[in-house]
Amino acid sequence: MSSTLELDPTPATAPAARRGRWIDDWRPEDPEFWQRTGRRVAHRNLFFSVLAEHLGFNVWILWSMVVVSLNPAGFDFSADQLFWLISLPNLVGSALRIPYTFAVPRFGGRAWTTISASLLLIPCLLLIVAVQDTSTPYWFFLLAAATAGLGGGNFSSSMANISFFFPEGKKGFALGLNAAGGNIGVAVTQLLVPLVISIGGGVHLAYAGMMWMPFVILAGVCAWFFMDSLTVAKTDRRSYVTALSNKHTWVMSFLYIGTFGSFIGYSFALPLLIKSNFPELVNIPLLVKLGFLAFAGALIGSVTRPLGGWLSDRLGGGRVTLLTFAGMAIGAVGVLVGLDTHSFPVFLGSFLWLFVMSGVGNGSTYRMIPAIFGAQARARALEEGRDPDSVVPVAKRHSAAVIGIAGAIGAFGGFLINQVFRISHVNLGTIAPALWAFLAVYLVSIGVTWWFYLRRRVLVARVPSLAHAQV
């Protein structure tokens, strides 16, 4: 989720010394300032931001791997209970995304990165306590899983903070690197946790919490000693209010549920889905130690996200998004075929295709938002006889607000996906109805994308400049 915060247009003329690593003079758009000191400071903050955000995703996704080993470890939980344990981190993480964004100007990037990274110790500790005794009540497991959502909020504050440090021409790459560094944390957790908890034979679930604690402490310490805060950052609440009244905010939020919601929802659910639908795989020790290869989905979905932005720059975000949903519909059909034939290669391969498409869609929908709101602002300026270039700063703030809202709603989509899987599996005995529902959503998304952004009547008659905006 991008920031809805802006830089003060009248920066200080000279640095003012302040305690706490606050920077009062920050002018990234000034080439001389950027070459002399800005680039070095910005890249240092980016490095430690990626570290903290990566750990946020590590902890956020942690319960997706823990649940598949709870029953083998002696805990007697039903399928319904297990699905709730992977759903709650999604719900809490999505709810925290917007307040985490506003925490950066309130506390400063350095302090808030230290705080948000250190808070990750809570879900790690609660996980360790929960799995120590098979008589631990289920409500305590729910509490421990819910606190893992703290890691989901880290994405927003990290993206907001880093957006302040880079000039416009370099911001896209920096934010893309920051986002990719976080998303890959999902794959890292799903690869390493099954290996670590099996060290020494048996199942040692406490290791799943212990393994991240030294790195969490390291991230907090590094943020405190090596990161900075910028005084020129301020909250733009007005853009949020304006964005909420624009229909395109809700259209793009719906589309982002289909892309990022699918990515994070499938990431949480896939290990449990594989184990519940292909129970015979537990007899293959190598597959168990590799987490049933579930990590491959999150990995491929993370690395294809930049591809979506690159393709959108060349083909238009609307076209890429429409093709993405068409590809996701094909992937959903493939998973249904894998279920029907009980073919694990088809099942997993189709899910990997879904992850590829969701990654591309994440990039293309993010590309669409600034194009849409920029085109709207320019069209309005032309109608009012103003210079279209004069509305660029306002359009950027509105776009950032929409990205923030869509990011939170998209993450909530992951919770919805997990709940649809839960209802389908528990009440109907199969996840096939859930996949039919997702297929229907992808088909509706194709229609929504075409109706709002690709019809020629919309492009030419309603918002003329959209025709040249590569929406």
The tokens describing 233, both together, are 């950052």
As a CATH number, domain 236-471 is 1.20.1250.20
Q: How does residue 464 score in pLDDT terms, banded at 50, 70 and 90?
A: very low
Q: What is the Rg, in whole angstroms, of the alpha carbon atoms belonging to the chain?
A: 22
Q: How does residue 51 score in pLDDT terms, banded at 50, 70 and 90?
A: very high
Q: How far is CA 87 from CA 209, 385, 441, in A?
A: 18, 50, 20
Residues 130, 144 contacting (CB under 8 angstroms): yes
The pLDDT of residue 13: 42
As a CATH number, domain 26-234 is 1.20.1250.20
The CA distance from 109 to 100, in Å, is 11
Give the burial class of 19: count Cβ atoms within 10 A of its Cβ; 0-12 exposed, 13-18 middle, 19 or more buried. exposed
CB atoms within 10 A of CB 251: 18
Check whether 409 has a pLDDT greater than 70: yes
Q: How does residue 181 score in pLDDT terms, banded at 50, 70 and 90?
A: confident
Check whether 419 has a pLDDT greater than 60: yes
Please list the residues that pair with 5 across neighbouring strands. 235
Check whether 285 has a pLDDT greater than 50: yes
* Model-wide pTM > 0.75: yes
Q: How does residue 468 score in pLDDT terms, banded at 50, 70 and 90?
A: very low
CB atoms within 10 A of CB 422: 22
What does pLDDT average to over the chain?
A: 86
Average pLDDT in the 226-239 region? 80
The pLDDT of residue 182: 85
The pLDDT of residue 469: 45
DSSP 458: I
**Taking the domains of the chain in order of start, what are their residue ranges?**
26-234, 236-471
Least confident stretch, 29-43, 68-82, 162-176? 162-176
Q: Over pLDDT 90: what percentage of the chain?
A: 56
Q: Do domains 26-234 and 236-471 have the same CATH topology?
A: yes
The CA distance from 421 to 339, in Å, is 14
State pLDDT tens for residues 362-404.
888 888 888 888 788 787 777 777 777 666 667 767 777 787 7
Residues 386, 411 contacting (CB under 8 angstroms): no
Average pLDDT in the 251-267 region? 94
CA 469 from centre of chain = 26
Number of residues in the chain:
471
State pLDDT tens for residues 426-448.
999 999 999 999 999 999 999 99
H or E stretch including 137? none
The CA distance from 347 to 207, in Å, is 30
The CA distance from 201 to 112, in Å, is 40
The CA distance from 16 to 412, in Å, is 42
Q: Who has greater pLDDT, 225 or 106?
A: 225
The CA distance from 249 to 242, in Å, is 10
Average pLDDT in the 95-108 region? 86
The CA distance from 156 to 427, in Å, is 35
The pLDDT of residue 235: 66
The pLDDT of residue 423: 95
The pLDDT of residue 399: 75
Strand 229-230 to 22-23 pairing: parallel
